[in-house]
Amino acid sequence: MAKQIYYDLPVDELVKKSLERKEGEVSKTGALVVNTGKYTGRSPDDKFIVDTPEVHDQIDWGKVNVPMSEEKYRNLLEKVSKFEDGLDESFIAEGVLGADDKYALPVEVHCEYAYQALFCEYVLCKDIEKDKKYGFDRLKIYCFPSCLADPDRDGTNSEAFVVLNLKEMTVLIGATKYAGEIKKSMFSVMNYLLPEKGAFPMHCSANMGEKGDTALFFGLSGTGKTTLSADPSRNLIGDDEHGWTEDGVFNFEGGCYAKCINLKKENEPQIWNAIRDSALLENVVMKDGQELDFEDAALTENTRAAYPICYIDNAVAAGKGNQPDYVVFLTADAFGILPPVAKLSIEAAEYYFLSGYTAKLAGTERGIVEPQATFSACFGAPFMPRPATVYSDLLKKYVSKYNSQVYLVNTGWIGGAYGVGERISIKLTRQIITDILTGVLDKDEYKHNGLLNLDTPAKLDDPRDSWENKDEYEKKAADLITLFKENFKKFPDADVGVISAGPQ
């Protein structure tokens, strides 16, 4: 342990310590602004899961879930432990992940920086109650950005490492100051644990109407799940990951972690107003005497704001919702082929959930400088340790049982591919979401798009009509359909009905 350990300091003390240590500066709004240096997004090539007999058959090993031997883990744990012992001071944040105690995970995070502990205060739901029984054993995370790996000795791909040991319930993080690695590590552990209890872990945001009607928004970073769930007319349950059980929906975390590049008050008023006293900003540029410049991407496109969920005026304090009436899959289609909205059958919902088609947007991962078409199963493959079908089976179970209506919403491009067409406006997408959540689209007439095998509202134009060159649309659509088919070969055991629900 470090010579001086600051254990569970309150938020104002963590901000004060961060400023004393010159970790960041305070903006005019009162938010703490830090620069995470070289790592401004997740580093997916540096994530590993320790391969132990207890978990080996439960993990979907491959490019996303990369194994690390127990021997290499022990060496790295020793390095991390020695590093912590050599620190003059460190910070420990403690709390609970998961608003439903039956499925909750107690977490203890050892941090090198005060702002990391502040971030954890916003991620974790509540304090640990000494005598309360939670759903799982305690997870310990050790996050020391100044502790670097030696790839030759430690079996890593670079100086950076994010290593999950699901048997011993530990996570080791080094070299990266990007706080999102802490959060996504917690979530990855939860996503591994919850199916054991029959609970469906989801990479989605959630909100609830005045009458308790609940909606889920699935999507990768940058597709709009935080923006669209932060709706002034509805109550926010959470903005990133949730569990779905026989009791309803529960939020994993106690705060929000929103992208804020090009943030404007008129478009996202709730996020704008949340960036105030003690909120944490990563890599946002300040100019002219601590004035925030949300349009400046000099450090990264992936600028971030972390704040407690209570900073959203209409947030659900309990972090729980009812059985979902609506499930929305958000996809940022970089090809400009998909319609703005389509209604999905249960089979089509499984197909698009397993496909997880979207575009990786600039800055969300290292090396991504412009949108790239990608398929991420469950709309969150990097955080799902088990085979994708484990999660799709749970989706089918709960959607079927509670008769949830499922929609596919394109928040990407129309009228052409990225660089030619236009990004669908937030205004139009918000109207579509409103029509979904108020039941308007349930009552609409639908037409079948044979090329894409999708049912779209009859009142909306065919996406082909928005292209100047119709032949080019047909060509690009055929390319996208081929990508879907090739990707779905990863699921040879899928039901014929699910395969047939995809683009043909």
- Give catalytic residues, as residue numbers: 42, 184, 203, 221, 225-226, 240, 304
Strand bridging mode 105-111 / 139-144: parallel
| Contact predicate 255/304, CB 8 Å | no
Q: Which of 485-489's residues contact partners 24+ apart within 8 Å by CB, and which partners?
A: 487/355, 487/357, 487/375, 488/351, 488/354, 488/355
Strand bridging mode 47-50 / 161-165: parallel
Neighbours of 294 (CB within 10 A): 18
Q: Which residues are within 8 A (CB) of 116 and not within 5 positions of it... i.e. 6 or more apart?
A: 91, 93, 109, 143, 177, 179, 182
- Taking the C-alpha atoms of residue 249 and residue 99, their distance in angstroms, rounded to an integer, is 9
Strand bridging mode 4-7 / 24-26: unpaired
- Taking the C-alpha atoms of residue 324 and residue 208, their distance in angstroms, rounded to an integer, is 9
Token digits for 114?
Answer: 């005060």
Token digits for 34?
Answer: 């830090």
- Taking the C-alpha atoms of residue 217 and residue 226, their distance in angstroms, rounded to an integer, is 8
Q: Which amino acid is at 471?
A: D
Pick from 142, 153, 214, 217: nearest CA to 182: 142
Residue 60 forms beta bridges with which residues? none
Instruction: Tell me the angle at which helices 388-402 and 346-355 cross, rounded to the nearest 10 degrees.
Output: 150
Instruction: Decide: helix, strand or coil at residue 96.
Output: strand
Instruction: Decide: helix, strand or coil at residue 442.
Output: helix
| Contact predicate 161/173, CB 8 Å | yes
Neighbours of 217 (CB within 10 A): 26
Token digits for 465?
Answer: 């009509």
- Taking the C-alpha atoms of residue 457 and residue 57, their distance in angstroms, rounded to an integer, is 44
Q: How many CA atoms lie within 13 A of 211 on its CB side?
A: 5
SS3 content of the chain, % helix, strand, coil (to 5): 30, 25, 40
Token digits for 19?
Answer: 């400023």
